[in-house]
Chains A and B, each alone.
Chain A
């Protein structure tokens, strides 16, 4: 079957750095995406990695290692507003994307 594994919860302090890992096992792979969702809101696209390496967008960076079927989302200079759920997602081909169960990030003062 196809699966994505990510931690269910992570807690960090305001101003700190946090890394959310994602490992995947899928029948096809075109790229890894990350989405942020605040309670009651829509999941919002953050980043997409099709090739190995690190992509940086402001305080957020995303990394992919295709050989390890692994990626992570790195959040720097954490702010209270970063408290949300973060989902990794794999584009498996045929324009189909499958999602993980999400990691709930709690940022404490």
Chain B
């Protein structure tokens, strides 16, 4: 079974630009999560999809961040316009039931300069 895949693995952009991150969860997993880790800190929750619906987006930092999951398959996370403090590793995870262990992708390392 293919795991959770994220694209790109790395992205370096200038402040003010737009970046879109993509996550392909494990096929059949209704639950999809976005997390972010800023260097040395906790893996912080951003939001949770159940199929195409946003179940919980309480962790989204501000309205510069927009997540979508059209059709309930892959998800995108867009940052527009990017700021320096948005730098970090963005992880996507999926889960079949939501209460079992998550399967994470390898993350996208975003650097805003």
Contacts and interface: CB of A to CB of B under 8 A. Distances in A.
Given A40-B106, A42-B3, A101 B31 contact: no
Interface residues of A, number: 25
A102 B44 CA distance: 11
B43 A45 contact: no
Contacts, number: 60
B42 to A, nearest CB: 4
Interface of B: 3-4, 31, 33, 35, 40-45, 48, 50, 55-56, 91, 93, 95, 98-107
B91 to A, nearest CB: 7
Nearest to A50: B99
A4 to B, nearest CB: 7
B56 A96 contact: yes
A5 to B, nearest CB: 10
A100 B42 contact: yes
A43 B31 CA distance: 17
A25 interface: no
A66 interface: no
B72 to A, nearest CB: 15
Contact of A42 (B45, B98, B106): B106
Contacts of A91: 99
